[in-house]
Amino acid sequence: MARAPDAVSDLKESFDQSRSRMRRNSAFSARSDRRKKCATNWLRLIECRISRAKSRQRPIMSVVRLCDQESATIPPQFTAAEAIRLMVERRVGAVVVVDDNRVVGIFTERDVLRKLALSGRGPDKVPVADLMTSPVETVPPEASPGEALGKMIEHHFRHLPVVDSKGRLRGVLSIRNLLHAQMEQLRQQLHSLEHYVASEEPGATKARG
């Protein structure tokens, strides 16, 4: 009989411990829920900013838009002198040799220097087919400016014909036009970065709030 109060006391202590554990678990669960909610809000904010950045980003420019409005072309049976005169008139460094609406080669200033200047042959008597570079490296119209520039740098080209799946000429890229396009893209990226940094400044955050 003397141990009855002790049993009641032990039972009460055990109940208090269980209730204390339940409270701690409840508090931990509440903190965990708040952390999950905070993380979810941050993810939503990041996704929103990524979506805004994508909406402001311009689509990749087609290389055809970077080509000169009118490409200088010449048939393979024409002479080197006629090709050179065409290059001078158009103020370009290359002419594309086209036969039956298909690109068969390219004749450039380098071909004049390397294959004609010291050969002793008269430019008005040599067909351009004997001096042109063939086969010629090309890019499809759907190529990006970066891909075209990479090919030109890799192969040391300054001119690159844009040719469709049927071998027809769509335009001629020059490394000058591609570099101008790359500079414009870098300016746009810098502007976007400056805008993003400015929006993250404390004053800007407080103003939005």
Q: Helices in 57-164 by DSSP H: which ranges?
A: 80-90, 109-111, 145-155
For the chain, the domains span 63-182
Among residues 103, 102, 83, 101, which one has the least CA distance to residue 93? 83
Burial (0-12, 13-18, 19+ Cβ within 10 Å), 78 = middle
User: Do 97 and 128 touch, CB atoms closer than 8 A?
Assistant: yes
**What's domain 63-182's superfamily in CATH?**
CBS-domain (3.10.580.10)
In tens digits, the chain (209 residues) has pLDDT values of 444 456 556 655 665 666 666 666 665 566 666 766 766 776 676 666 666 655 554 545 578 788 877 889 999 999 999 999 999 999 999 999 999 889 999 999 999 998 888 888 889 999 999 999 999 899 999 888 888 888 888 888 889 999 998 888 998 888 888 887 777 767 777 777 776 667 655 555 554 45
Q: In this predicted structure, what is the pLDDT of residue 177?
A: 80
Q: In this predicted structure, what is the pLDDT of residue 54?
A: 53
